Amino acid sequence: MRRKNMIKIIIGVAIGLYIAYFGFTDPTEVTKQVLDEVTQTQTIEAVGEQGATYKVLSVTDGDTFKVGINGVTESVRLLGINTPETEFSSRGAECFGEEASERAKALLQNTSVQLTSDDSQDVRDKFNRILAYATLPDGRDFGEVMIAEGYARELTFKGIPYKNQQLYKAAQKQAEENKVGLWEERVCNE
């Protein structure tokens, strides 16, 4: 609660300073600009240092998990991958969703991961989840492992190329050729 009040105060002061310095303009535009700047600052602060290591608190599904960052529980949505949904999704369970979720738990539970953002992608999604790549304690890229083992598909969000795109596409091609996981014959009728 104190954090929200502090944010409101910061926003109010920022708007006041902006108006005092630049004169009165459209308050909606000023508010949006200030909120964007405050959100970006909070995100940098909340995510911490690029490549820092964070304890995994829980696994939501195959491509989403929660970490502790500076005493705050944050949801992380993996960049570049998409796993089938589980029963917790508004779309309902999809074929291989439970298996993908279990594999993510096996890889992530009781570990710490290194989070790395991608300048080509947003820092957070519409659900306020941090968008990042995760590096496992043994140095492997979590997204690449999930795709290579057939638990996830490569995902290019809104057609915007991303840093690990070629790596992930190659991992998916190999998984398809080896017919593992999602790509195994008669697993999901694909």
Q: Is residue 29 a part of any domain in this protein? A: yes
* 190 domain residue, yes or no: no
86 within a domain of the structure (yes/no): yes
Q: How far apart, in Å, are the Cα atoms of 38 and each of 43, 47, 72?
A: 8, 14, 18
Which stretch of 34-43, 113-122, 131-140, 153-162 has the lowest confidence by average pLDDT? 34-43
Q: Are residues 109 and 174 in the same domain?
A: yes
Q: Do 19 and 99 lie in a common domain?
A: no
Q: Say yes or no: 70 and 155 in one domain.
A: yes
Q: How far apart are CA 12 and CA 42, in angstroms?
A: 16
Assign residue 176 the CATH number of its domain: 2.40.50.90
Are residue 86 and residue 172 in the same domain, yes or no?
A: yes
User: By the 8 A CB rule, do 143 and 164 touch?
Assistant: yes
Interval 41-68: pLDDT, tens: 444 444 556 668 999 999 999 999 999 9
Known catalytic membership, residue 103: no
Number of structural domains the chain divides into:
2
Q: Full-prediction pTM beyond 0.75?
A: no
More confident: 154 or 6 = 154
Q: How confident is the model over 113-133, as pLDDT tens digits?
A: 999 999 999 999 999 999 999
Average pLDDT for the chain: 81
Active-site residue, from 77, 103, 124, 153? 77
Catalytic, 129? Answer yes
On whether residue 116 sits in a domain, the answer given is yes
Q: Averaged over 78-107, what is the pLDDT?
A: 81
Based on the fold, state whether residues 79 and 24 are members of the same structural domain: no
Q: How far apart are CA 51 and CA 56, in angstroms?
A: 15
- 140 CB neighbour count, 10 Å cutoff: 13
Q: Is 120 within the bounds of a domain?
A: yes
Q: What is the pLDDT of residue 184?
A: 87
Would you call 122 helix, strand, or coil by DSSP? coil
Evaluate whether residue 189 is within a structural domain. no
Structural domain includes residue 188: no
Whether residues 143 and 92 share a domain: the answer is yes
Select which of 94, 98, 102, 129 is catalytic. Answer: 129
Q: Look at residue 140 and tell me if it is in a domain.
A: yes
For residues 133 and 40, membership in a common domain is answered with: no
Residues 58 and 152 grouped into a single domain: yes
Residue 40 lies in domain? 2-47
For residue 28, what pLDDT band results from cuts at 50, 70 and 90? low
Is the pLDDT at 40 greater than 60, yes or no? no
**Do 38 and 115 fall into the same domain?**
no
Distance, CA of 92 to CA of 97 (rounded, Å): 10
Q: Are 43 and 57 in a shared domain?
A: no
Q: How far apart are CA 175 and CA 181, in angstroms?
A: 8
Do 113 and 140 share a domain, yes or no?
Answer: yes
> Do 81 and 101 reside in the same domain of the chain?
yes
168 pLDDT tier (thresholds 50, 70, 90): very high
85 classed as catalytic: yes
